[in-house]
Amino acid sequence: MEIAYPSMDLDAVLSLWDQPVDGRADPAADFRRFYADPVPVNGTPMTADDLVARARALQVAFADRRTELVHRVEAAGRLVIGFYMHVRHVGPYVTPLGRVEATGRQLKIRVNDILTVENGKITDIWVMSDDVDLMRQLGLL
């Protein structure tokens, strides 16, 4: 039995989040190139427009974003990545403890994504981020 490993241009996927969405002719189409529409994120269906809105909110809150890939594990139909987002907090950010106005702080956000990949598209996402450490970095804890 042959095991099918996901085929995914991870650099292109990460650039959707790192590069400004408002500079693109059709950002929703760019997301649809790599994501099912809708795609469940932690069990909640999100459309391509929802993903664009999420990327935009992150880009308003955080500048100078750089993704540092720490782990990439491929299994049949799955791609698991562990990474740090290095950012500067420049705008409002909604956290589990409420909205935080810009602090100007440099942040290092730890994230793990479990991606289901079918026919070159991400069809399911489980995101686990270290929100406690992020709240500490933002001065909330």
Please report whether residue 112 resides in a domain. yes
Residue 113 lies in domain: 10-137
- Please report the DSSP string for 63-128 in residue order: EEEEEEEEEEEEETTEEEEEEEEEEEE-S-EEETTEEE-----EEEEEEEEEEEEETTEEEEEEEE
Q: Are 81 and 113 in contact (CB under 8 A)?
A: yes
Q: Are 50 and 32 in contact (CB under 8 A)?
A: no
pLDDT digits (tens, 9 = 90+) for 65-119: 999 999 999 998 999 999 999 999 999 999 888 899 999 999 999 999 999 999 9
d(CA 33, CA 121): 7
Confidence check: pLDDT of 140 > 70: yes
Please report whether residue 5 resides in a domain. no
Please report whether residue 3 resides in a domain. no
Residue located via tokens 């709240």: 135
Look up residue 105 and give its two tokens.
């702080």
Question: Mean pLDDT across the chain, nearest whole number?
Answer: 93
CATH number assigned to the domain comprising residue 50: 3.10.450.50
pLDDT digits (tens, 9 = 90+) for 104-127: 999 999 999 999 999 999 999 999
Please report whether residue 117 resides in a domain. yes
Model's pTM, two decimal places? Answer: 0.91
Please report whether residue 71 resides in a domain. yes
Q: Which residues contact 104 (CB under 8 A, 6 or more apart)?
A: 88, 89, 90
Please report whether residue 1 resides in a domain. no
- Split into its structural domains, the chain has a count of 1
What sign does the CA torsion over 77, 13, 104, 95 have?
negative
